[in-house]
């Protein structure tokens, strides 16, 4: 039996930044204790007398707010004026009234960038650093619930390796197993409860009913003050759901989504444009399918039903006779209206088109001929022709993609959204399932493309083996004769959907396996969030009505980066393209998607969605002898590969680290955590409560209550320096007293300062050495590039055509981007404005003899990761000069990211080995010539 694929997970810097943004909010909390250490009274874990083990927050509101401000500043987010939190007073067993606050923390991550992975890692990190043990993940639907449980399962070994096999107990809430909540409360492991919001919003939910117990089962959750993770919190903004979350008695709520309605205390933001431009999700192209207007059939579309006190009317669109031709118009109808009259006597409406019934509650109308029309549904157009062509275009795109990636070990999947199960799977008179029209059309299209010469043998399975549907079902009949009848599912989170979502989630790895024939998935529209598969490359929406699904929901099922048969992520942008086949034009789809993203995120997505019908294949051209000589002249000067060594001056490192730590403006002194108490006494008489007397006391935490961790082990786990060096730095900083006051905050401050200094000194002391015999080959440029006609030269601008000579390719792609893994030569031109301008100037300036974009595989190793410079230029005026250029919007270092500057500094040292080559960072061609 073939072993199931294991998905591989790597450490991504943007995910780590999101994790640390949450961890740093709790700076000042007591750190996690070792297995055999005594737990102090000021610990982050509370061991209660009833056997429950819960979380404990010792920070004040002001401290949490200050930490939030620090995180927001480091992430470039505007600081909140006040802490956004729930607040309430609760009574302790001793009768004291204690103020409680629950901060809300928002993390915004674009769909497909690993949101669930990130919040699971956050739980492990909070447990490792502070010892927090209890987490509740609240989800809005069955699909997302199953997705979360699946992610906890597939990441188990990955996090076990990262976190020293710390015990982790994931638990799915089941109203039939309420005693599991007691195990959750009393477990000493990192415990994660996953629960659907609808399981505890109502008083009659089992979790809120005492039954035969002395208390309701939800009390098990309340007593441990869990950190509540809210997945897709935009679905939790009603009063009843907000109250339900508060009733969990959370220590804090962490809110993760791509589309927040209210970003409470926003800590981290990875918006769609950032994710898209950085290549963290698939690029998007649209292959729109629409039909010409056809007047040969009785066309009717139900647009709206208006129920008013004076009566019920409907708005429909029909074809109407005009003076010279036929036009499609929107009309208002009431009961008894005849479309024959309304259409000005069009014969095709003469029989059976009198409006007989308006069923507003059901969202449908019925005509005299028995025709029933639902809201947004249309009859008589070319909808069948459109959907049939959509299926064919999807199959065509699937075969083309598979041919391109099969050698890379990538399974290709296509996903069809349908709004009627009967269109895919119907039933005969005996109740046996038979193919619906979608299934029939699909198999016809599949056989057509499988028979093409260049696709023969590409898919070694028959048409009926490669497609299947995932739908909810109802059982009909009893006993052995019972059959599951597939139905349209519209109730999100219904019990009916449980089997459906469990099946498709558990099939995730099976679907990725090349040995599994299934490649084309038909699903009801209800499967629009919570499920995705990284290898979905085509999404097709087949609707007899206009799709009500948001474009972002639609594309979200296929945005995640694909994996190969080893479970490894693929980062090649030439492969990572999601093709959407909607029942509307490219222009309409792209405009709607861009507007949705702008409305929800306040960022412009303009120009990023491409037209799949607008493709061009660009390849290397045959150069003239003169151009070939120019190309080889510069290429042979710069194509050497290098490794580096570093000379580190330890006394200088110590001196600069001490200087940095003594700069309390850049690295402020940490403050002691605050401990507060509030006592209240009620004054009562026979009339009732007459007043409340309160006393509030606040003071710094006692030094004796702060456990100090193994300082060297903690720092060395993050910065590789000797204990002697670390001791000297910390000792000479004269800040060791802060280690006793607030150890976590001080250690993180010290690490930040040391890392900054260390990276700068590593780059300062770096030396590059050529690797004997290892040079980049010219074959890096040989692979043809598929791009879009709208994104290549030549094109007309200001009545001037840009020439395409003096470079390697037949045309110059405009919107390509460097492949982060360098899997192929993917561009000559970047979509950044500085590079656009630079290439345009090179093309027009007669002094530039030859220029080209360096391929993605041309990489220079640095202590901060690999670096890929931009351009190679041969310039000739009175003499010939060879340049490597890095194009930036600004050449002022203060205006660029620190890591960018350090990598460019490494570039200078690498190219110093080249004969007669000058490396410069510029914002225009003129910058190359400046002294």
CA gap 557, 504 in Å, rounded: 13
- What distances in angstroms separate CA 284 from CA 68, 230, 554, 612, 819, one per listed residue? 35, 28, 12, 9, 16
In a domain, residue 519? The reply is yes
Please give the pLDDT value at position 703: 46
Q: Which residue has the higher pLDDT, 835 or 229?
A: 229
Q: Are residues 731 and 683 in the same domain?
A: yes
Decide if 463 is inside a domain: yes
User: Please, is 479 exposed, middle or buried when counting C-beta atoms within 10 Å of its C-beta (0-12, 13-18, 19+)?
Assistant: exposed
What is the structure's pLDDT at 552? 83
Q: Which of 20-29, 204-213, 471-480 has the lowest mean pLDDT?
A: 471-480
pLDDT at 835 over 90: no
797 forms beta bridges with 800
- The reported pLDDT for the residue numbered 787 is 78
Taking residues 143-150, what's their average pLDDT? 86
Residue 268 inside a domain? The answer is no
Residues, the chain, total?
931
Q: Identify the pLDDT of residue 796.
A: 44
State the pLDDT at residue 584: 83
Q: Is residue 845 part of a domain?
A: yes
Give the end of a domain, one of 764, 790, 810: 764
What's the rounded mean pLDDT across residues 198-222?
89
* Residue 270 confidence (pLDDT): 94
Is the pLDDT score of 346 beyond 70? Answer: yes
What is the value of pTM for the model shown? 0.75
Q: Are residues 744 and 694 in the same domain?
A: yes
CA 66/CA 79 separation, integer angstroms: 10
- E strand or H helix that includes residue 910: helix 898-911
Average pLDDT over residues 531-546: 83
Say if 282 falls within a structural domain.
Answer: no
Using the predicted structure, report yes or no on whether residue 706 has a pLDDT greater than 90: no
Closest by CA to 400, choosing from 307, 285, 515, is: 285
Q: What are phi and psi of 238, to 5 degrees?
A: -80, 160
Mean pLDDT of the region 116-142: 95
Categorize the per-residue pLDDT at 261 as very low, low, confident or very high, splitting at 50, 70 and 90: confident
- What mean pLDDT is predicted for residues 221-238? 94
For residue 929 the two structure tokens come to: 């010539």
Please tell me the predicted confidence (pLDDT) of residue 147: 85
787 and 917 in a single domain? The answer is yes
Q: Is the pLDDT of residue 697 over 80?
A: no
pLDDT of residue 221: 96
Q: Which pLDDT band, with edges at 50, 70 and 90, does 758 fall under?
A: very high
d(CA 816, CA 618): 12
Name the 3-class secondary structure at 212: coil
**Pick from 373, 344, 913, 923: which is nearest to 643 by CA?**
913
Is there a single domain that holds both residue 885 and residue 745? no
Backbone angles phi, psi at 391, to 5 degrees: -60, -45
Residue 455 is part of a domain; what is its CATH number? Answer: 3.40.50
Whether 321 and 336 map to the same domain: the answer is: yes
Share of the chain above pLDDT 90, in %: 49
- Confidence band of 484 (pLDDT split at 50, 70, 90): very low
pLDDT, position 4: 62
Dist CA 311 CA 538 (whole Å) = 46
- Residue 708 belongs to what domain range? 648-764
Q: Which two tokens stand for residue 659?
A: 């200087």
The confidence score (pLDDT) of residue 479 equals 44
Q: What pLDDT does 829 receive?
A: 36
**By mean pLDDT, which of 101-110, 144-153, 409-418, 778-787 is the weakest?**
778-787
Residues 569 and 681 in one domain: no
User: Looking at the predicted structure, is the pLDDT value of residue 215 above 90?
Assistant: no
CATH number at residue 177: 3.40.50.300
pLDDT at 371 over 90: no
Distance CA 791, CA 810 (A): 13
Mean pLDDT, the chain, rounded, equals 84
Instruction: Kindly tell me if the per-residue pLDDT of 35 is higher than 90.
Output: no
- Higher-confidence position of 281 and 278: 281
Residue keyed to tokens 């919570």: 530
Does 375 share its domain with 387? no
Whether residue 375 is predicted with pLDDT greater than 70 in this model: the reply is: yes
- Residues 230, 168 share a domain: yes
Q: Give long-range contacts, CB 8 A cutoff, 24+ apart: 722-729.
A: 725/650, 725/653, 725/654, 728/654, 729/654, 729/657, 729/658, 729/661, 729/754
pLDDT of 222 > 50? The answer is yes
- The answer, yes or no, to whether residue 324 has pLDDT greater than 80, is yes
Long-range contacts formed by 349-355: CB under 8 A, 24+ apart: 349/298, 349/318, 353/298, 353/300, 355/314
Report how far residue 412's alpha carbon sits from residue 431's, in angstroms, rounded to the nearest whole number.
Answer: 33
Domain match, 185 and 71 both? yes
CA separation (Å) from 512 to 23, 462, 533, 534, 563?
A: 34, 18, 8, 9, 8
Rounded (10°) CA dihedral 275, 276, 279, 285: 150
Residue 266 within any structural domain of the chain: no
For the four alpha carbons of 666, 765, 914 and 824, in that order, the dihedral sign comes to negative
Query: Does residue 445 share a domain with residue 426?
Result: yes
Q: Compare 282 and 507 and report the one with higher pLDDT.
A: 282
What pLDDT is attached to residue 757?
Answer: 94
Contact between 889 and 857 under an 8 Å Cβ cutoff? The reply is no
| Cβ–Cβ < 8 Å for 901, 893 | yes
Of 258, 284, 319, which one is at a domain's C-terminal end?
258
Q: How far apart are CA 779 and CA 121, in angstroms?
A: 41
First to last CA, the chain: 68
Percent of the chain with pLDDT over 70: 84
- Positive or negative: CA dihedral 256, 259, 261, 267: positive
Which of the two residues, 72 and 887, has the higher pLDDT score? 72
- Helical residues (DSSP H) of 247-372, grouped into ranges: 272-277, 339-342
232, 94: one domain: yes
pLDDT at 530: 58
Flag whether pLDDT at 810 surpasses 90. no
Among residues 736, 764, 792, the one where a domain terminates is: 764
Same domain membership, residue 412 and residue 357: no
Rounded average pLDDT over 675-695: 48
pLDDT band at 832 (very low <50, low <70, confident <90, very high): low
Report how many domains make up the chain. Answer: 5
Q: Could you give the CA distance from residue 914 to residue 902 in angstroms, rounded to a whole number?
A: 20
Is 73 within a domain?
yes
Q: What is the pLDDT of residue 122?
A: 98
Q: Residue 6 falls within a domain, yes or no?
A: no
pLDDT at 92 over 60: no
Report strand pairing: 674-685 vs 45-47: unpaired
């Amino acid at each position: 039996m073939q072993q199931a694929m294991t998905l591989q997970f790597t450490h991504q810097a943007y995910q780590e930044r999101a994790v640390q943004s949450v961890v740093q909010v709790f700076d000042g909390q007591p750190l996690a204790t070792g297995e055999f250490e005594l737990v102090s009274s000021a610990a982050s874990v509370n061991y209660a007398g009833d056997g429950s083990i819960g979380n404990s927050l010792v920070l004040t509101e002001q401290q949490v707010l200050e930490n939030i401000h620090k995180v927001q500043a480091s992430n470039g987010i505007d600081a909140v004026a006040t802490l956004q939190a729930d607040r309430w007073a609760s009574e302790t067993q001793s009768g004291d009234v204690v103020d409680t606050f629950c901060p809300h923390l928002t993390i915004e991550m674009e769909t497909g960038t690993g949101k669930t992975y990130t919040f699971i890692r956050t739980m492990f990190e909070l447990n490792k650093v502070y010892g927090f043990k209890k987490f509740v993940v609240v989800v809005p639907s069955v699909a997302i619930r199953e997705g979360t449980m699946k992610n906890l399962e597939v990441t188990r070994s990955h996090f076990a390796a990262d976190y020293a096999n710390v015990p982790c107990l994931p638990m799915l809430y089941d109203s039939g197993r309420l005693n599991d909540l007691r195990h959750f409360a009393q477990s000493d492991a990192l415990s994660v409860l996953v629960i659907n919001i609808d399981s505890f919003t109502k008083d009659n939910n089992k979790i809120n009913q005492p039954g035969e117990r002395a208390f309701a089962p939800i009390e098990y959750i309340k007593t441990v003050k869990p950190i509540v993770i809210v997945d897709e919190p935009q679905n939790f903004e009603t009063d009843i759901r907000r109250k339900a979350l508060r009733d969990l008695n959370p220590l804090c709520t962490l809110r993760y989504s791509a589309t927040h309605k209210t970003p409470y205390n926003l800590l981290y933001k990875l918006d769609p444009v950032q994710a898209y431009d950085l290549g963290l999700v698939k690029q998007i192209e649209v292959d729109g399918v629409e039909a010409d207007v056809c007047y040969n059939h009785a066309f009717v579309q139900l647009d709206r039903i208006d129920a008013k006190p004076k009566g019920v009317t409907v708005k429909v669109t029909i074809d109407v006779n005009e003076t010279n031709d036929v036009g499609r118009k929107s009309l208002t109808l009431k009961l008894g209206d005849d479309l024959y009259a309304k259409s000005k006597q069009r014969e095709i409406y003469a029989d059976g088109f009198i409006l007989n019934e308006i069923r507003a509650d059901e969202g449908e109308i019925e005509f005299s001929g028995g025709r029933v029309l639902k809201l947004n549904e249309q009859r008589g157009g070319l909808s069948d022709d459109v959907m049939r062509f959509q299926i064919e275009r999807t199959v065509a795109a699937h075969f083309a993609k598979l041919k391109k990636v099969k050698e890379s070990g990538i399974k290709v999947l296509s996903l069809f959204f349908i709004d009627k199960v009967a269109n895919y799977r119907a039933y005969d008179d005996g109740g046996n399932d038979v193919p619906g029209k979608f299934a029939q059309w699909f198999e016809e299209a599949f056989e057509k493309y499988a028979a093409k010469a260049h696709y023969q043998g590409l898919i070694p399975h028959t048409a009926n083996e490669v497609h299947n549907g995932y739908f909810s079902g109802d059982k009909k009949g009893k006993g052995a004769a019972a059959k599951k009848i597939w139905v349209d599912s519209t109730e999100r989170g219904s019990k009916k959907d449980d089997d459906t979502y469990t099946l498709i989630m558990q099939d995730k790895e099976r679907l990725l396996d090349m040995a599994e024939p299934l490649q084309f998935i038909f699903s009801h529209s209800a499967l629009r969030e919570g499920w995705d598969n990284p290898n979905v490359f085509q999404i097709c929406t087949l609707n007899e009505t206009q799709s009500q699904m948001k474009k972002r929901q639609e594309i979200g099922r296929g945005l995640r980066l694909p994996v190969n048969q080893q479970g490894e992520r693929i980062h090649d942008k030439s492969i990572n393209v999601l093709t959407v086949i909607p029942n509307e034009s490219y222009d309409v789809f792209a405009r709607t998607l861009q507007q949705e993203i702008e409305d929800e995120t306040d960022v412009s997505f303009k120009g990023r969605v491409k037209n799949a019908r607008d493709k061009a294949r660009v390849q290397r051209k045959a150069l003239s002898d003169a151009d070939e000589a120019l190309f080889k002249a510069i290429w042979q000067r710069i194509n050497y590969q290098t490794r580096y060594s570093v000379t580190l001056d330890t006394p200088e490192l110590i001196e600069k680290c001490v200087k940095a730590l003594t700069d309390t403006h850049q690295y402020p002194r940490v403050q002691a955590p605050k401990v507060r108490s509030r006592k209240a006494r009620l004054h009562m008489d026979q009339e009732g409560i007459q007043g409340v007397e309160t006393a509030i006391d606040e003071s710094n935490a006692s030094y004796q209550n702060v456990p100090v961790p193994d300082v060297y082990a903690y720092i060395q786990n993050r910065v590789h320096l000797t204990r002697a060096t670390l001791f000297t730095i910390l000792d000479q900083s004269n800040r060791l007293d802060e280690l006793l006051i607030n150890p976590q905050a001080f250690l993180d401050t010290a690490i930040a300062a040391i890392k900054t200094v260390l990276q700068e000194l590593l780059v300062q002391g770096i030396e590059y050495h050529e690797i004997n015999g290892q040079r980049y080959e010219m074959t890096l440029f040989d692979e043809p590039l598929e791009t879009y006609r709208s994104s290549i030269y030549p094109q007309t601008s200001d009545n001037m055509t840009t020439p395409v000579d003096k470079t390697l390719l037949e045309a110059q792609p405009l919107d390509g981007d460097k492949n982060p893994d360098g899997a192929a030569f993917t561009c000559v031109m970047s979509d950044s404005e500085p590079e656009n301008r630079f290439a345009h100037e090179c093309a027009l300036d007669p002094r530039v003899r030859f220029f080209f974009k360096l391929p993605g595989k041309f990489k220079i190793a640095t202590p901060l990761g690999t670096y890929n410079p931009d351009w190679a230029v041969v310039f000739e005026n009175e003499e010939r000069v060879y340049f490597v250029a890095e194009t930036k919007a600004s050449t002022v270092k203060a205006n660029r990211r620190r890591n960018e500057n350090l990598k460019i500094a490494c570039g200078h040292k690498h190219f110093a080995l080249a004969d007669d080559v000058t490396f410069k960072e510029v914002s225009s061609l003129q910058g190359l010539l400046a002294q």
